[in-house]
Structure 1
Amino acid sequence: MGLSVGLAHTADEEEETAMSEQESWRELRDRRLTEPGAHEAYEASRLAYELGRTVRAMREGCGWSQNDLAREAGMTQSAVARFEAGGTIPTLPVLERLARALDAHVEVRLTPRAPAAVPPSSTLHRRCARPAL
């Protein structure tokens, strides 16, 4: 005695479902991005992804496996894999270990986002003034 379950969809039905799922995802994403802290979390994820992509490119440029980089940086292969996939937001000491292993330097810079975003000097002084105690 066997049990079989079949699902039959036409190509049009599958495309319609995919489109409605995409729209649902877009709506959910847009709604979530309006929640407090969402943009900061999104930017942190973007940064983690970009750092991971850079480390992967450098590792591959050396002809190394993830195991090779992990050994040189004093990490596990799974930690390197998570980092390269953008799954973790690294600390500066971890970035330093990876950079040292890859014979690179870590640079951290703060730069204005755009010239129009720089406030007039009086506003800048007010924003950067010491907090009141």
Structure 2
Amino acid sequence: MTRIADLHEKWSRDPEYRAAYDRIGPEFELARSLVEARTRAGFTQAELAKRMKTTQSVVARLESGRMYPSTRTLERVALATGTRLRISFDPT
């Protein structure tokens, strides 16, 4: 069976694939960070939602990358998970 990482490595040799992947990379990184903050805090999506005073479906959308959260929403996640929100711009 082919692993997804192997496929990604193969496809990354294609400039069009690489460009498309690079465009959505920040969305994946944000989604990964949200899941990581929640799981490190030991919460289910429903538990995090309750602490944020929202619904589990909102947390699921945040974690899927299908939603562009405001800074305020990200601050609510940080407060609920006991983490610090840090936004940065790194040189390319």
Instruction: Judge same fold: TM > 0.5, yes or no.
Output: yes
Partner of residue 109, structure 1: 88
Matched letter for residue 82 of structure 2? D
CA contact (8 A) 1:70 1:76 kept: yes
The C-alpha deviation readout for 1:43-99, integer Å capped at 9, x for no partner, is: 3x4322211211112212222110000011122100100111111121111100101
Matched letter for residue 38 of structure 2? R
Query: Unpaired segments of 5 or more residues in structure 2?
Result: 1-13
The number of equivalent residue pairs is: 79
Superposition TM-score, scaled by structure 1 size: 0.50
Superposition TM-score, scaled by structure 2 size: 0.69
The C-alpha deviation readout for 1:10-57, integer Å capped at 9, x for no partner, is: xxxxxxxxxxxxxxxxx9xx39x6xxxx79xx63x4322211211112
Is the counterpart of residue 56 in structure 1 residue 56 in structure 2? no
Q: What is the RMSD of the two structures over their aligned residues, measured on CA atoms?
A: 2.5
Greater relative contact order (Cα < 8 A, sep 6+): 2
Structure ID, larger Rg: 1
Partner of residue 53, structure 2: 74
- Percent identity of paired positions between Structure 1 and Structure 2: 31
More helix by share: 2
